[in-house]
Amino acid sequence: MGSYGISYLVFDHKAKEKRVLKQMRPSRLNSPKGKTLYEYEINMLAALRHPRMPRLFDSFEENGQLYYVMNYIQGKTLEDLLFEENRKFGEREAWEIILELLALIKHLHERRIIHRDVRIPNVIWNDDGIYLLDFGLARYLDDSPSYLETTNDHYWPEKRLKREVHPRSDIYALGHFMLFMLYSTYEAKAGEAERIWEEELTLTPATVRILRRMLQLDTPYATTAELERDIQDFLEQQEKRF
């Protein structure tokens, strides 16, 4: 159950496979932007053509309620791996994962789609690789952040960066995604005061430099291609060292 929808795991008897049925929350349905956002998301999902992203099968209204049907992507989220399985990610492995996820983000940006919600519960791993889910906040470039409002000035500063309809907002989210993986190996000492990530984590200068740009602490990356080059250069240098 999320802010705007309720998801059910269902079985399609005709196709003989599991699928996901998502219902717009009844409390949201009668809000000023409820049905408009539902239709926007349906059109967005219908436009996706990627094997590592949700596939829309159907959308319909039943007893005054709005629903749509997607394929069921089975696997574990990064949230599961970190907090239930205590998975540890080294610096190099974390960048390799970001690079794989970046390929999906790049695919969207080339189609003028900004995801705006790249978070650890929205990325799934299974034997086939990484999948990117939840396009409820996705927007086309040049559309307003909330679709019915012209600005995101009502958001607090960090959320404003995450919700900007610009490629750098997805890159910013990827920076936080990276920090979640890097912190998997961090162990705080008892009684030690909390410090900024640059002081708490032992990272190579190249990683710090890339992350600072992703998090918009230094000149932000304008495109995913620019970030991709820097990560590939880092991994190549690491390969030479070993």
The domain that contains 172 carries what CATH number? Answer: 1.10.510.10
Evaluate if residue 160 carries a pLDDT over 90: no
Q: Pick the catalytic residue: 12, 58, 80, 117? A: 117
- Please tell me whether residues 165 and 200 are part of one structural domain: yes
- Please tell me whether residues 61 and 94 are part of one structural domain: no
CATH number at residue 66: 3.30.200.20
- Please tell me whether residues 83 and 200 are part of one structural domain: yes
**CA dist 29 to 44, 166, 207, 212, Å?**
19, 28, 44, 40
Evaluate if residue 90 carries a pLDDT over 70: yes
Query: For residues 110 and 193, which has the higher predicted lDDT (pLDDT)?
Result: 110
pLDDT of residue 163: 81
pLDDT of residue 151: 55
What are the backbone angles phi and psi of residue 60, rounded to the nearest 5°?
Answer: -165, 165
For the question of residue 233 being annotated catalytic, the response is no
Evaluate if residue 155 carries a pLDDT over 60: no
Under the banding of pLDDT at 50, 70 and 90, the label for residue 1 is: confident
- Please tell me whether residues 63 and 180 are part of one structural domain: no
pLDDT of residue 225: 95
Give the closest residue to 98 by CA, choosing from 228, 213, 217, 219.
228
* Last residue of one domain, picked from the residues 46, 71, 96: 71
Judge whether 166 and 173 are in contact, CB under 8 Å.
no
- Please tell me whether residues 228 and 126 are part of one structural domain: yes
- Please tell me whether residues 99 and 65 are part of one structural domain: no
User: Which tens digits make up the pLDDT trace of 17-66?
Assistant: 999 999 998 887 777 677 888 899 999 999 998 999 999 999 999 998 99
* Last residue of one domain, picked from the residues 20, 43, 71: 71
- Please tell me whether residues 128 and 24 are part of one structural domain: no
pLDDT of residue 196: 93
- Please tell me whether residues 110 and 186 are part of one structural domain: yes
Query: For residues 223 and 194, which has the higher predicted lDDT (pLDDT)?
Result: 223
Which tokens hold the place of 235?
């991994």
- Please tell me whether residues 64 and 91 are part of one structural domain: no
pLDDT of residue 17: 96
What single-letter DSSP state applies at residue 222? S
pLDDT of residue 150: 53
Cβ partners under 8 Å of residue 170, min gap 6: 105, 108, 109, 114, 115, 116, 118, 224
Residue with tokens 């998801």: 7
- Please tell me whether residues 101 and 164 are part of one structural domain: yes
Under the banding of pLDDT at 50, 70 and 90, the label for residue 67 is: very high
Give the closest residue to 61 by CA, choosing from 39, 46, 91, 93.
39
- Please tell me whether residues 227 and 139 are part of one structural domain: yes
Overall domain count for the chain: 2
* Last residue of one domain, picked from the residues 15, 50, 71: 71
Evaluate if residue 142 carries a pLDDT over 60: yes
List the domain range (segments joined by +) for residue 49.
5-71
- Please tell me whether residues 168 and 229 are part of one structural domain: yes
